[in-house]
């Protein structure tokens, strides 16, 4: 439910959720109050029709802004940038970036996309990048915050070893023939 015109959420999460609610409800007047003209144009141009399945993932602050990420049931992400000093006032959303699920052509970027989705629990995106069996296994693990990738090729596959200083140590098998399409991550082992 949108706040009455002239009232603005005082926190970045609420402001982002209010913006998403106005977009989904088709509230173009409310969207125009919450966003700059540039952000509104980007939202309506690149993200297609409003998708009610978008849900909040996280907000992070950097350099005077808050960056809030939402994702939908297909794993597509919408990143909103809000100026801190404008939250609580009109036009706080100054930039919107639509990031549909992509299938990189090389193993390391493919696994990197998978790990970034995991960090925000974007299970739909992860499910598009790996097999259901891999996704089921990964749900039992602790999400790595930082990582190092080390790739080794083999006939038809690339093994990407994922490690970090906190003890995360897993290897994913990427089926090379599946790069640039869904489910290229076909196995994971410790």
In 3-state terms, what secondary structure has residue 168? coil
Run of H or E including 30: helix 28-34
Q: What does the H/E/C string look like for 64-127?
A: CEEEEEEECCCCCEEEEEEEHHHCCCCCCEEEEEEECCCCCCCHHHHHHHHHHHHHCCCHHHHH
Residue with tokens 């959420």: 9
Pairing of strands 93-99, 169-175: unpaired
> How confident is the model over 3-17, as pLDDT tens digits?
556 799 999 999 999
Strand partners, 2: none
> How confident is the model over 10-52, as pLDDT tens digits?
999 999 999 999 988 887 899 999 999 999 999 888 655 667 7
Q: What is the mean pLDDT of the chain?
A: 92
Is the pLDDT at 90 greater than 90? The verdict is yes
Predicted pLDDT of residue 12? 97
Upper half-sphere CA count for residue 104 (Cβ side, 13 Å): 13
> How confident is the model over 102-126, as pLDDT tens digits?
999 999 999 999 999 999 999 999 9
Q: Would you kindly state where each structural domain of the chain is located, as residue ranges?
A: 12-99, 107-189
Closest C-alpha among 115, 189, 190, 183 to residue 149: 115
Upper half-sphere CA count for residue 128 (Cβ side, 13 Å): 18
With respect to CATH, is domain 12-99 assigned 1.20.120? Answer: no
DSSP code at position 183? T
């Amino acid at each position: 439910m949108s706040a009455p015109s002239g009232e603005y959420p005082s926190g970045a999460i609420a402001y982002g959720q209010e913006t998403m609610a106005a977009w989904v409800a088709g509230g173009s007047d409310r969207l125009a109050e919450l966003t700059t003209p540039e952000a509104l144009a980007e939202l309506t141009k690149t993200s297609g029709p409003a998708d009610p399945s978008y849900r909040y993932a996280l907000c992070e602050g950097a350099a005077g802004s808050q960056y809030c990420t939402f994702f939908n049931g297909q794993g597509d992400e919408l990143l909103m940038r809000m100026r801190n000093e404008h939250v609580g006032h009109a036009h706080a959303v100054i930039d919107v970036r639509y990031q549909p699920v992509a299938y990189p052509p090389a193993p390391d970027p493919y696994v990197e996309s998978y790990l970034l989705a995991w960090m925000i629990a974007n299970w739909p995106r992860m499910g598009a990048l790996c097999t259901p069996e891999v996704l089921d296994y990964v749900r039992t693990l602790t999400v790595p915050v930082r990582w190092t990738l080390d790739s080794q090729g083999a006939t038809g596959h690339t093994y990407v070893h994922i490690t970090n200083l906190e003890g995360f140590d897993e290897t994913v098998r990427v089926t090379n023939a599946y790069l640039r399409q869904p489910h290229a991550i076909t196995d994971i082992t410790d």
